[in-house]
Amino acid sequence: QVQLVESGGGLVQPGGSLRLSCAASGFNINARAMSWHRQTPGKQRELLAAIDAGHGKKYSDSVKGRFAITRDSTKTTTTTVYLQMDNLKLEDTGVYYCGSYDSATWLTRINSWGQGTAVTVSS
């Protein structure tokens, strides 16, 4: 079983930056792909960025060039996944969730979710 705990959300002005963290632990956590998603009222949860076990990355078009996903896998039983968010826009407001996949790539399903951290972009 995998446990995910997000942190780092808050209120930021347009054009500002935030860094989200996801503390992940559980079976084979360093061998799992990880991802960040965003959910806003009335919309489906949107995949923003994913990182595989080999640190390969992908981004949605909505955040490419503004967000960066990284992971710290130096510990054997835990990993921390970060989402650096720059040049934030009003439409980036939402609840951000961390997810872990069944395997080393994002070609499998997500098997665990964190509780979410809220980001509000407002002037």
Average pLDDT over residues 88-115: 95
Share of residues in the chain with pLDDT > 90 (%): 91
pLDDT of residue 43: 93
pLDDT of residue 75: 83
Give one word for 54, left, alpha or beta, with left for phi > 0 and alpha for psi -120 to 50. Answer: alpha
What's the mean per-residue pLDDT of the chain? Answer: 95
C-alpha separations of 52 from 1, 41, 68, 78, 88 in Å = 18, 28, 14, 15, 25
With a cut of 90, say whether residue 77 has pLDDT above it. Answer: no
